[in-house]
Amino acid sequence: MMTSLVRRAASSLRSNSGKRHFFAHATHRMEETGLYGCNLLKTPKGFQRFVDEAIERSNELVGYISRMPSSAEIINAMDEISNTVCQVVDSAELCRHTHPDRDFVDEAMKASMRINEYLHYLNTNLTLYNAVLKADQDQTLTSNEAKRVAHDLRIDFEKGGIHLSAEKKDRVSQLNIEIARCCAQYNENIAKDPGHVDIYPASRIPKNLHHLGKPVNRSTSPGQKVNIREKGFRIVTEPSTVSAVLQWAYDDEVRKMTYIKSNSVPRANLGVLDNLIAARHEISQIMGYKSYAEYAMNSNMASSPDVVSSFLVELSKTVQPKAVEEFESICNFKREKYGQQDIGLEPWDEAYFTRSMKSAAYNLDFSVVASYFSLTQCLEGLKILVESLFGMKFLSCPLAPGESWHPDVMKMALHHPDEGDLGYLYLDLNCRQGKYPGCAHFAIRGGRRVSKTEYQLPVIALVCNFSKPHNSSIVRLNHSDVDTLFHEFGHALHSLLSRTDYQHFSGTRVAFDMAETPSNLFEYYAWDYRVLKKFARHYSTGDSIPEKLVESMVGARKMFSGMELQQQIYYALVDQTLYGDPTLRMIDSTSIVADLRKQHTNWEHVKGTHWQTRFSHLLYYGAGYYSYLYAKCFASTIWERVCKEDPLSLETGAAIRTKLLQHGGAKEPAHLLNHLAGDGITRSYQNYGHGGAIIPDITSLCNELNLRR
């Protein structure tokens, strides 16, 4: 994403010209509309007009700002420009990741490229910068949030190179276009080349995985008169299928083939990633920074790669003894199972043997666990959560003709009995071919105050990829999927409950290393029996989930928590290294990945693999993946101090809403965290001259995971 006006992803559009093309929510007559309630998006070509009108309206506002109105009016107009442009950026992003119609996807991609080019004009516009500078220096601004917006925009303009010569600005523009192209190409390559393995004979695939494969056959007697065909399965190595195969396939070779293929496609992304990293490093150096990591972190709580490195190394050393102990336990389990003391542990063994060990230790049958988590009941759980915590309801909304992009999509309104509708949520939860392969929260429109009596409501989408079983119409989730759903729901609540005056700070538009805290906090609700008993019911009998089963699930979860944390630290270190040293641009990224794996995990790198070619966090969280670990620490402390005693009370919900969620990015994140959970949740970092840097206190997380310090 570009710097300055749209450095945070989310969007909306309000036009003072009287045109109301956008987000006309369903009326009783259910008139035809376009995608997401935007009348312009009735057809794929509507994206062209969408961009045209956004640019037209933004240019009007640029002209208005050039006449130097009051500082308050400058900030309002700047926010409307951002609002207008983000509408296009975010709608196009959601469309190209989820729409089944290729024409819509292609037009969304074109719109994204066009609006990114226009963003360069905005982000390097001296008239806008001078107006923001005036507002930032104006002592008459009475609103603290307006002051923060003015200061934020000034810093972003300067970070975006407003001071550069025309030649350097042109180069930055070219590089930003190249970055956008690389990101689009990276995702396109993943969609086009998910990889596959053909497994023969078919009996090597367990029956519970047959629905994930496509039957294939081959000749076993080439050149013979009688052509005997052998049956097999083709396994497409997309993430959810790979996860299932690695957990359940008892054949070592099947797991090995699946692991290697899934971690070695798409090969084309090796070059794409190299180009992306090089472009980001070049931009940062033009701006006067040593590396992209330093450039990207400048406005975060961490403030510096040195601070992040210190935090990650501290955490890595702390978790190492527990991770080694867990690794050895898996080795011993495999040796006992195979009756061989000299047998080693391979990366494709981890998921299979950890699942087996959890099942044995806690008598867990994961298919039984899933029987209590039908998708319908899980959605009921989300409704219960918001009603218990916030006194609100999620109400189903009818979709107007043209509003949805697929028949599976649902729409809900978050409704408060006194405050009315607070926002709208689209749910696109089932997997399908060509769809974004993971789970994500997409903003469509951010909230903002339009007037003293009118608030522009946020509109968002939750996108997941839950598989329908081959022999049932009832979608049942593995508990890891429930955990993911609650995580993304945390993001959704952050967006829906935010009530900032400016969309610049709406919802998840916060410091990068704060954004994952609400989502990590709501993961705890997916593991607490007091919450689960409210909605987790057997799909056929209706019985509530037994408390002993939940205790077993929690116990199993903790068995390999050290290795799981170590893996996240490793990902963060890879991200930091690739974006932290500009001299690495000529070095194979795979060698960096392999070296760090050896240093910070117990696993060896598998020759020929390159998981970084479909780890999209390197695109969207470039130099920011550490924020997941910041969030784990913050969320652990908040849960312990604020939620654990009575997780479903209105008092707990009021604290989460009024002290954290409703402020979006309008207040300093460290202030919000300390106000919610008390002093000590954050630590000031004094080394390397970064006295203002913030790192999390890791005490609660260490206690939770039984880590010795």
Rounded distance between C-alpha atoms, residue 381 and residue 384, angstroms = 5
Rounded distance between C-alpha atoms, residue 175 and residue 290, angstroms = 17
Please name the residues in contact with 676: beta carbons below 8 A apart, sequence gap of 6 or more. Answer: 638, 642, 655, 656, 659, 660
Sign of torsion, CA 444 445 446 447?
negative
Rounded distance between C-alpha atoms, residue 680 and residue 555, angstroms = 28
| The dihedral formed by the CA atoms of 20, 22, 25 and 30, expressed in degrees to the nearest 10 | 80
Residues recorded for the chain:
709
The string of DSSP letters for 71-111 reads: HHHHHHHHHHHHHHHHHHHHHHHHHHHH-S-HHHHHHHHHH
Rounded distance between C-alpha atoms, residue 634 and residue 624, angstroms = 16
Rounded distance between C-alpha atoms, residue 233 and residue 660, angstroms = 50
Cα 166 to chain centroid, rounded: 36
CB 57 within 8 A of CB 484: no
The tokens 């392999």 sit on which residue? 594
The tokens 């749910």 sit on which residue? 427
Rounded distance between C-alpha atoms, residue 279 and residue 91, angstroms = 25
3-state secondary structure of 441: strand
Rounded distance between C-alpha atoms, residue 513 and residue 496, angstroms = 20
Where helices occur in 249-372 by DSSP H, the ranges are 252-262, 269-286, 292-297, 305-338, 350-362, 366-370
The tokens 């993304």 sit on which residue? 488
Catalytic residue check, 488: yes
CB 119 within 8 A of CB 472: no
Sign of torsion, CA 160 163 164 169?
positive
Tokens encoding 432: 């399908």
Rounded distance between C-alpha atoms, residue 30 and residue 524, angstroms = 39
DSSP single-letter state for residue 391? S
Instruction: Give the residue from 78, 77, 83, 48 showing the smallest Cα distance to 444.
Output: 83
CB 590 within 8 A of CB 608: no
| Amino acid residing at 665 | G
Please name the residues in contact with 563: beta carbons below 8 A apart, sequence gap of 6 or more. Answer: 323, 326, 327, 350, 601, 602
Please name the residues in contact with 537: beta carbons below 8 A apart, sequence gap of 6 or more. Answer: 372, 374, 377, 543, 544, 545
Distances (CA, A) of 409 to 46, 397, 440, 649: 21, 11, 15, 31
Rounded distance between C-alpha atoms, residue 641 and residue 339, angstroms = 47
The catalytic residue among 53, 107, 326, 488 is 488
- Neighbour-count burial of 43, counting CB atoms closer than 10 A to its CB (0-12 exposed, 13-18 middle, 19+ buried): middle
CB 558 within 8 A of CB 705: yes
The string of DSSP letters for 145-168 reads: HHHHHHHHHHHHHHHTTTTS-HHH
Please name the residues in contact with 489: beta carbons below 8 A apart, sequence gap of 6 or more. Answer: 382, 385, 462, 519, 522
The pair phi, psi for residue 163, each rounded to 5°, is -85, -5
Sign of torsion, CA 165 166 172 176?
positive
Rounded distance between C-alpha atoms, residue 283 and residue 175, angstroms = 7
Start-to-end CA span in the chain (Å)? 39
Give catalytic residues, as residue numbers.
488
